[in-house]
Amino acid sequence: LSTWSAVPAGPPDPILGITEAFKADKDARKINLGVGAYRDENGKPYVLNAVKKAEEFLTAAKNDKEYLPITGLADFTKNAAKLAYGAESKPLNENAIAITQSISGTGALRIGGAFLARHYPHSKIIYLPVPSWGNHTPIFKDSGLEVRGYRYFDKKTVGLDFNGLKEDLQNAPEGAIVLLHACAHNPTGVDPTQAQWAQISDIVKEKKLFPFFDMAYQGFASGSTTRDAFAVRHFVQEGHQIALSQSFAKNMGLYGERVGAFSLTTTNAEEKARVESQLKIIVRPMYSNPPLHGARIANTILSRPELYQEWEGEVLTMAERIISMREKLYDSLTKEHSTPGEWGHIKSQIGMFSFTGLKAEHCKALAEKAHVYMTMDGRISMAGLNGNNIEYFAQSVDAAVR
Ligand code: PMP
């Protein structure tokens, strides 16, 4: 008998499983709208010019491959913090941001979860929006936190359930942790307005909740990294201490390089040093120290003005292509096909994803009859659409819902 004979087969990952089905499909019209990775207008993965230039620069520099410190490349984390918090940020300028490089956004959330489980003095309960990115629940459970939900999405309006959100945060136990998607909420594409963020900040303050921001799409929502950092910067300005997870997977297209950062705002340099020493104690037994190459790429872009400028332009181009796909899809469904249903949310939603409102049976029909793959909750990655496939997609959606 094998040692592992009693290990049950786990379910396939709901998102990465879609890619498997897509790969196995031989139909030329097939479309993968499952995974959240940017595709160019030809449906191909896109390596940013700023990244290519940074890599050329790094090749020429002939760097060695020594280990990074436990908290990663110091210049990178300094520049990542500046990107998120803004050059004018008070904790940044007071050297009061404890930060560590991480294995992309997932790793940042995991370090954050572990740190809060070990050191956050008030509660071990974390509230996630319903719905949230599918990996949030296992990340925080595995970190040792108790996961609960707050209302976020209103199926009726296909928009934000702001009253439900406020009520649930107001009724949360004092001191609980609340996870907030900084921008481009995944999977819904629905973000609070700036005025709503201000109200959320007030409730978080009043109830002494602890805000943990997940910022996986800075720049991807609006095309501006500054605009997309509004919520994070507003909370910091309002005097909140925050936790922040950053990912450079989407905004620099560095998916597989695994570039990210986790940070906490503290009150002064001495406290920051204490907190950072504990971040090191969490990271060291997990993976010792982070990978080098991606952090070097991101840091080269963030620290060289000409590359930074080119990168900002490319972020805008990616965001604008996605926005133009929203408009085309909306027009095609409503004007060309007169598809039954209300589709305004396709245009008003933000970021990589759209929560289409398609039901599981429609999604299933789309996969089986039209070779169009998406998650069964009706989420589509807008970046998977392009001038060549959008008409076929609209037609297929129309056929599926009739
Ligand atoms: N948070 C959210 C909301 C995400 O959508 C993602 C990517 N799908 C991540 C975090 C982390 O991604 P990564 O680990 O690739 O940076």
**What are the tens digits of pLDDT across the range 366-397?**
999 999 999 999 999 999 999 999 999 999 99
- pLDDT of 129 strictly over 80: yes
Residues 100, 104, 105, 111, CA torsion sign: negative
Higher pLDDT, 157 or 205: 205
Q: Is 133 in the pocket of ligand 1 (CB under 6 A)?
A: yes
Look at ligand 1, atom 12, and give the residue with the nearest C-alpha. 105
* Average pLDDT estimate for 156-173: 96
Reported as a pLDDT band with limits 50, 70 and 90, residue 114 is: very high
List the catalytic residue out of 168, 191, 228, 250.
250
Q: Is 250 a catalytic residue?
A: yes
Q: Which atom of ligand 1 is nearest to the CA of 259?
A: 16
- pTM (predicted TM-score): 0.96
- pLDDT of 269 strictly over 80: yes
Point out the least confidently predicted range of 17-21, 53-57, 65-69: 17-21
Asked whether this complex has an ipTM greater than 0.95, the answer is yes
Residues 391, 394, 400, 402, CA torsion sign: negative
Q: Is 106 in the pocket of ligand 1 (CB under 6 A)?
A: yes
Cα radius of gyration (the chain): 21
- pLDDT at position 16 is 77
Q: Are the C-beta atoms of 375 and 366 separated by less than 8 Å?
A: no
Q: Tokens standing for 264?
A: 């906490």
- pLDDT at position 212 is 99
- pLDDT of 329 strictly over 90: yes
* Average pLDDT estimate for 272-282: 98
Q: Is 186 in the pocket of ligand 1 (CB under 6 A)?
A: yes
Neighbours of 56 (CB within 10 A): 11
Q: Is 189 in the pocket of ligand 1 (CB under 6 A)?
A: no
Q: Is 133 a catalytic residue?
A: yes
Reported as a pLDDT band with limits 50, 70 and 90, residue 13 is: confident
- Count the alpha carbons within 13 Å of 241 in the hemisphere toward its beta carbon: 17
Q: Tokens standing for 9?
A: 């087969």
Q: Is 156 a catalytic residue?
A: no
Pocket test for ligand 1, best of 18, 35, 106, 246 (most atoms within 8 A of CB): 106
Q: Tokens standing for 105?
A: 């956004």
Q: Which atom of ligand 1 is nearest to the CA of 136?
A: 1
- pLDDT at position 62 is 95
Reported as a pLDDT band with limits 50, 70 and 90, residue 158 is: confident
Is it true that the peptide bond before 131 is cis, omega within 30 degrees of 0? yes
- pLDDT of 157 strictly over 90: no
DSSP string, 114-173: HHHHHH-SS-SEEEEEES--TTHHHHHHHTTPEEEEEE-EETTTTEE-HHHHHHHHHTSP
Q: Is 48 in the pocket of ligand 1 (CB under 6 A)?
A: no
Q: Tokens standing for 254?
A: 């560095």
**Residue 383 gets which letter from DSSP?**
G
- pLDDT at position 72 is 98
- pLDDT tens for 198-208 read 999 999 999 99
In total, the chain counts a number of residues equal to 402
